[in-house]
């Protein structure tokens, strides 16, 4: 029996259309729009002004606090504007607009770094560089990575879990990265183990990516501190708490963090970015993005500069197919529908999913038939139907008592509801109000 | 860019292909084997009762929603169809047609729509219809056309008792189970459905086929049917072991009366059963216990309908007190 988490979970059609498409480099965009808030926490502070010339990897916005992150220029060019542009959240957000200098050769160099195994930096230096080089969690949550590594005195850690689950349907960015950069990722794991001073790491990969499992087994054959765990395919196994439970059989306490059970979780994409930052002095200025959809002509995986407008990616795969009605930043379960294709790729963009007419609309909501399916699939042991009801009726205190805040917004409840009830929508609404009520109380 | 506007909606952007309608029609499919057996055993009478119940349930839902409540008409969702079939399955095949219509009106009008329609009813509508008829017309509701004679004829006249009725009556007149046993249908007959009783509860095999279909299609989970049947078997088994001359065997109890129909099709009604697995087990134990108590010590020979209705009333309470275990609520993890 393959390992998995015990409560809830679903298995939507995988639709991993691009798992055999190797990662191609997207042509350097003419203009990049780099938002200053690409991570969870305080937005970065702009340190450049209009008409400044910037180099690749130069800091253009500085971390605005502990839970924040530096932002680097993905291209060499000139700052043309400091403007507010609609980002993936749907709101206008402060962006730094940079026009790429087409004459600067640095923009078009395709550097393939040789594998470098020796880790020279000390644990402190590693954490500092991860901070300086703007590394955030690339799995989607974009939590600044240095925060996870700044472990308080006295907290005992014993295991690093490497998240190679990629449980979202359609997305293959992590899968391809694991296949193409498995050796680098393993060095990245060793870097993190050194930084955290722990000597056990487990790479969790779902069993629909057998080639990635084999690749890591091969690379780690002589490394007994790093293990590979094949997991049963089940969404949302990529959720930190679910993954820790699946691999180590440890349950992160309510409102707690993996840290509380001695674990740090990092995504494979993040670990590769850490490898490049530590071994090759490369800040986080690009990432792998899957551009996909059932009707997309040349769906594939790309190395994309942060700030690239999504329309550039869509042009690359053959344009928007006829009948496109929705464009999603991320996967179909947790991704956000975007308003237009000018929205830039950010550190958290793992995929662009193009959805056509037949799948873009939701079904008409009907009465709840009290089948309990939402309860059975909830990976957090919640009662989504109840939380929706309480939120709808404005009973936020009760919703809070029913643990609405522990919802991870995986969407399994809305996915299975046979009556098309907007469960997660109301739960999100309830969470927002409860959060506001709690802050006003304190 | 396509000419039509882009849709912006919150995640998730995909949906499973399960719909309420599909679930309802799966239930209808699961009821087909039992219906075929009832046609074979009771002939045209079974067909008439079922057709009338289904037609009047759908018609009443339409009329009440359209003209009385003035709300959207939802007869297409399949739930009125199921109520009709299940009501018919709980009636004797020779019941006068006007009573079937009254039962349908009570089921749809009182038990379902007055509570707010699909999803809001507390009690199983078909069972409320049946129990209403049973307490209003006890004579007609317990005139069971006997199986073979009435095949393909309109059932009236010749009637017999149900298995459970024979046991109850025999014990009342001081007979022992051995004496009663000579008149009872054999286990094979009970499995095939050659005995007296409500239209749809006849054949254990047909009901089991339907039940397994529902389990395979994941319309129901094993928790309610299995727990209910095991509870009944254990409880009747204890009494039977104490005194086999006064109490019927668990096998007879499971295979006769409404036990299987109730366990797979009535107690599992999504709307009126609990929404957690723990709750389902509690609910099913309650049904099992109440059924056995009524059968062994009550005035009625059969108690499944009453038991389910009584436990239906406890469902909101069960949902409140038997919640799923929250992730991380109790830390039992250990650092290895």
Task: Give chain A's length.
Answer: 442
Residue tagged 């729509």 (tokens) = B113
Q: Does B243 touch chain A (CB under 8 A)?
A: no
Which B residues in the span 110-149 are in contact with A, Cβ-Cβ below 8 Å? 117-120
Q: What is the mean pLDDT of chain A?
A: 93
Which of A156, A241, A363 has its CB closest to that of B15? A363
Q: DSSP secondary-structure letter at B148?
A: G
Q: State phi, psi for A93 to the nearest 5 degrees.
A: -130, 150
Tell me how far apart the alpha carbons of residues B293 and B291 are, in angstroms, rounded to a whole number: 6
Which whole number is the average pLDDT over A194-221? 95
* pLDDT(B4) > 70: no
pLDDT score for B336: 38
- DSSP state letters, B152-208: TS---S-EE--HHHHHHHHHHTT--HHHHHTTSPPHHHHHHT-S-S-TTSS-HHHHH
Which whole number is the average pLDDT over A18-37? 93
Tell me how far apart the alpha carbons of residues A394 and A406 are, in angstroms, rounded to a whole number: 18
From chain B, the residues in CB contact with A373 under 8 A are 18
pLDDT digit string, tens, across residues A262-320: 999 999 999 999 999 999 999 999 999 999 999 999 999 999 999 999 999 999 999 99
From chain A, the residues in CB contact with B11 under 8 A are 328, 330, 332-337, 409, 411, 424
pLDDT score for B334: 44
pLDDT score for B155: 41
Tell me how far apart the alpha carbons of residues B93 and B52 are, in angstroms, rounded to a whole number: 11
- DSSP state letters, A37-77: --SSSSPPEE---TT-EE-TT-EEEE--SSS---EE-SSSE
Q: What are the Cα distances from residue A172, in Å, to A9, A18, A353, B104?
A: 20, 6, 11, 55
Task: Classify burial at B242, counting beta carbons within 10 Å of its beta carbon; exposed 0-12, middle 13-18, buried 19 or more.
Answer: exposed
Residue B285 C-alpha from the chain's centroid: 16
* pLDDT(A414) > 70: yes
**A371 vs B19: CB contact, 8 Å cut-off?**
no
The strand pair at A31-35 and A92-100 is best described as: antiparallel
Which whole number is the average pLDDT over A257-265? 93
Tell me how far apart the alpha carbons of residues A130 and A115 are, in angstroms, rounded to a whole number: 19
pLDDT digit string, tens, across residues B252-307: 999 988 899 999 999 999 999 999 999 999 999 999 999 999 999 988 888 999 99
Superfamily of domain A123-280: NADH-ubiquinone oxidoreductase 51kDa subunit (3.40.50.11540)
Q: DSSP secondary-structure letter at A230?
A: E
Tell me how far apart the alpha carbons of residues B125 and A222 are, in angstroms, rounded to a whole number: 66
Which B residues in the span 78-117 are in contact with A, Cβ-Cβ below 8 Å? 79, 117
The strand pair at A201-206 and A77-86 is best described as: unpaired
The number of C-alpha atoms within 13 Å of A271 and in the hemisphere containing its C-beta is: 30
* pLDDT(B195) > 80: no
**B16 vs A10: CB contact, 8 Å cut-off?**
yes
Beta bridge partners of A355: A326
Q: Please state the domain extents for chain A.
A: 27-102+285-359, 123-280, 373-441
Which whole number is the average pLDDT over A315-331? 91
Q: Which residues contact B202 (CB under 8 A, 6 or more apart)?
A: B34, B37, B38, B41, B147, B193, B194, B195
Take residue B269 and report the two structure tokens written for it. 């009604």
A13 → chain B, closest CA residue: B16
Cα-based angle A206, A210, A211 (whole degrees, multiple of 5): 130
A3: helix, coil or strand? strand
- What number does CATH give the domain A27-102+285-359? 3.10.20.600
In a mutagenesis test of the B interface, which of A248, A250, A342, A372 is the best target, namely the one with the most B β-carbons within 10 Å?
A372
The number of C-alpha atoms within 13 Å of B324 and in the hemisphere containing its C-beta is: 26
From chain B, the residues in CB contact with A333 under 8 A are 11-14
Q: What are the Cα distances from residue A181, in Å, to A23, A138, A204, A264?
A: 11, 16, 16, 21
- B256-285 burial: b if 16+ Cβ within 10 Å, else e: bbbbbbbbbbbbbbbbbbbbbbebbbbbbb
Q: Which residues contact A89 (CB under 8 A, 6 or more apart)?
A: A336
Nearest C-alpha of chain B: how many angstroms from A30? 21
Which of A13, A253, A372 has its CB closest to that of B276? A372
A11 → chain B, closest CA residue: B16
Give this prediction's pTM: 0.90
Q: Does B225 touch chain A (CB under 8 A)?
A: no
Q: Does B77 touch chain A (CB under 8 A)?
A: yes
Roughly how many angstroms between the first and final C-alpha of chain A, as a whole number? Answer: 47
Take residue A208 and report the two structure tokens written for it. 């629909």
Nearest C-alpha of chain B: how many angstroms from A46? 30
pLDDT score for B157: 45
Q: Which of A308, A402, A408, A279 is nearest to A31 (CA)?
A: A308
Which of B14, B275, B329 has its CB closest to that of A12? B14
* pLDDT(A92) > 70: yes
Which whole number is the average pLDDT over A424-430? 96
The number of C-alpha atoms within 13 Å of B187 and in the hemisphere containing its C-beta is: 7
Beta bridge partners of A92: A86
pLDDT digit string, tens, across residues B157-189: 456 678 888 888 888 888 888 888 888 888 887
Task: Classify burial at B196, counting beta carbons within 10 Å of its beta carbon; exposed 0-12, middle 13-18, buried 19 or more.
Answer: buried
The beta-strand segments (E) located in A137-267 are: 159-163, 201-206, 226-231, 263-267
**B11 vs A376: CB contact, 8 Å cut-off?**
no
Which of A325, A332, A336 has its CB closest to that of B7? A325
Beta bridge partners of A230: A205
**B18 vs A416: CB contact, 8 Å cut-off?**
yes
The beta-strand segments (E) located in chain B are: 144-145, 159-160
Task: Give chain B's length.
Answer: 336
Q: State phi, psi for A92 to the nearest 5 degrees.
A: -75, 125
Q: Is the dihedral of CA A20, A23, A27, A32 positive or negative?
A: positive
From chain A, the residues in CB contact with B2 under 8 A are 320, 322-325
From chain A, the residues in CB contact with B16 under 8 A are 10, 12, 415-416, 418
**B326 vs A403: CB contact, 8 Å cut-off?**
yes
From chain A, the residues in CB contact with B13 under 8 A are 326, 328, 332-333, 335, 337, 353, 355, 359-360
pLDDT score for B153: 43
Cα-based angle B115, B103, B203 (whole degrees, multiple of 5): 110
Tell me how far apart the alpha carbons of residues A269 and A139 are, in angstroms, rounded to a whole number: 7
Share of chain A above pLDDT 70, in %: 100
pLDDT score for B146: 63
Residue tagged 């296949």 (tokens) = A179
Residue B331: pLDDT band (50, 70, 90) is low
pLDDT score for B160: 66
**B334 vs A250: CB contact, 8 Å cut-off?**
yes
* pLDDT(B329) > 80: yes
From chain A, the residues in CB contact with B9 under 8 A are 326, 337, 362
pLDDT score for A258: 92
* pLDDT(B113) > 60: yes
pLDDT digit string, tens, across residues A51-79: 999 999 999 999 989 999 999 999 999 99
Q: State phi, psi for A60 to the nearest 5 degrees.
A: -110, -15
Asked if A2 contacts A232 with a C-beta cutoff of 8 angstroms, the reply is yes
Share of chain B above pLDDT 70, in %: 92
pLDDT score for B147: 54
The number of C-alpha atoms within 13 Å of B320 and in the hemisphere containing its C-beta is: 6
**A337 vs B7: CB contact, 8 Å cut-off?**
yes
């Amino acid at each position: 029996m393959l390992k998995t988490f015990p409560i809830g979970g679903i298995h939507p059609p995988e639709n991993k259309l691009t798992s055999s498409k190797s990662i191609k480099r997207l042509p350097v965009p003419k203009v990049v729009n780099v938002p200053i808030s690409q991570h969870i926490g305080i937005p970065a502070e702009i340190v450049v002004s209009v008409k400044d010339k910037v180099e690749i990897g130069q800091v253009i916005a500085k971390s605005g606090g502990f839970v924040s992150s530096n932002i680097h220029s993905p291209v060499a060019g000139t700052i043309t504007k400091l403007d507010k542009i609609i980002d993936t959240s749907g709101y206008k957000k402060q962006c730094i607009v940079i026009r790429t200098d087409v004459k600067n050769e640095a923009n078009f160099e395709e550097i393939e770094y040789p594998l470098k195994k020796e880790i020279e930096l000390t644990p402190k230096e590693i954490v500092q560089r991860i901070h300086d080089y703007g590394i955030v969690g690339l799995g989607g949550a974009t939590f600044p990575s240095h925060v996870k590594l700044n472990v308080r005195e006295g907290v005992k850690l014993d295991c690093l879990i490497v998240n190679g689950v990629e449980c979202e349907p359609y997305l293959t960015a992590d899968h391809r990265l694991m296949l193409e950069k498995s050796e680098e990722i393993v060095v990245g794991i060793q870097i993190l183990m050194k930084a955290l001073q722990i000597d056990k790491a487990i790479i969790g990969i779902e069993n629909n990516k057998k080639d990635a499992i084999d690749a890591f087994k091969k690379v780690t054959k002589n490394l007994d501190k790093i293990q590979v765990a094949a997991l049963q395919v089940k969404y949302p196994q990529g959720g930190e708490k679910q993954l820790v439970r699946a691999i180590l059989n440890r349950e992160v306490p309510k409102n707690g963090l993996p840290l509380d059970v001695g674990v740090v979780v990092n995504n494979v994409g993040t670990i590769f970015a850490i490898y490049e930052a530590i071994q090759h002095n490369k800040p986080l200025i690009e990432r792998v993005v899957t551009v996909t959809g059932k009707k997309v002509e040349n769906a594939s995986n790309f190395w994309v500069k942060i700030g690239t407008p999504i329309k550039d990616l869509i042009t690359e795969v053959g344009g928007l197919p006829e009948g496109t009605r929705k464009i999603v930043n991320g996967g179909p379960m947790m991704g956000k529908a975007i308003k237009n294709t000018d929205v830039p790729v950010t550190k958290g963009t793992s995929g662009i999913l193009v959805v056509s007419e037949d799948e873009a609309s939701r079904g008409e909501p009907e009465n709840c038939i009290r089948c309990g399916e939402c309860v059975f699939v909830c990976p957090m042991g919640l009662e989504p139907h109840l939380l929706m009801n309480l939120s709808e009726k404005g009973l936020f205190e009760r919703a809070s008592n029913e643990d609405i805040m522990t919802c991870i917004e995986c969407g399994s409840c809305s996915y299975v509801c046979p009556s098309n009830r907007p469960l997660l929508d109301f739960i999100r609404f309830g969470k927002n109000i409860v959060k506001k009520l709690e802050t006003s109380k304190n | 860019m396509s000419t039509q506007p882009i849709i912006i909606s919150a995640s998730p952007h995909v949906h499973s292909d399960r719909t309420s309608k599909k679930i309802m029609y799966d239930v209808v499919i699961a009821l087909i084997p039992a219906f075929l057996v009832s046609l074979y055993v009771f002939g045209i009478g079974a067909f008439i009762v079922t057709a009338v119940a289904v037609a009047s349930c759908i018609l009443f839902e339409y009329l009440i929603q359209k003209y009385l409540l003035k709300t959207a008409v939802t007869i297409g969702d399949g739930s009125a169809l199921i109520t009709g079939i299940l009501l018919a399955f709980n009636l004797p095949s020779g019941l006068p047609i006007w009573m079937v219509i009254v039962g349908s009106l009570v089921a749809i009008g009182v038990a379902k729509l007055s509570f707010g329609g699909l999803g809001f009813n507390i009690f199983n509508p078909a069972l409320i219809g049946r129990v209403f008829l049973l307490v209003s017309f006890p004579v007609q509701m317990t005139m069971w056309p006997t199986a073979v004679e009435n095949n393909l004829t309109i059932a009236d006249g010749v009637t017999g008792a149900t298995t459970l009725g024979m046991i109850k009556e025999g014990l009342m007149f001081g007979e022992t189970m051995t004496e009663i046993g000579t008149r009872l249908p054999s286990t094979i007959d009970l499995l095939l459905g050659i005995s007296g009783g409500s239209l749809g509860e006849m054949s254990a095999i047909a009901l089991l086929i339907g039940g397994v279909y529902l389990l395979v299609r994941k319309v129901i989970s094993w928790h309610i049917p299995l727990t209910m049947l095991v509870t009944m078997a254990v409880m009747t088994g204890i009494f039977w072991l104490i005194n086999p001359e006064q109490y019927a065997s668990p096998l007879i109890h499971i295979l006769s009366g409404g036990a299987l129909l109730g366990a797979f099709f009535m107690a599992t009604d999504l709307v009126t059963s609990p929404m957690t697995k723990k709750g389902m087990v509690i609910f099913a134990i309650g049904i099992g216990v109440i059924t056995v108590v009524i059968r062994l010590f009550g005035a009625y020979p059969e108690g499944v309908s009453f038991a389910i209705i009584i436990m239906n009333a406890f469902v909101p309470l069960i949902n409140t007190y038997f919640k799923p275990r929250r992730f991380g609520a109790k830390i039992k993890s250990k650092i290895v």
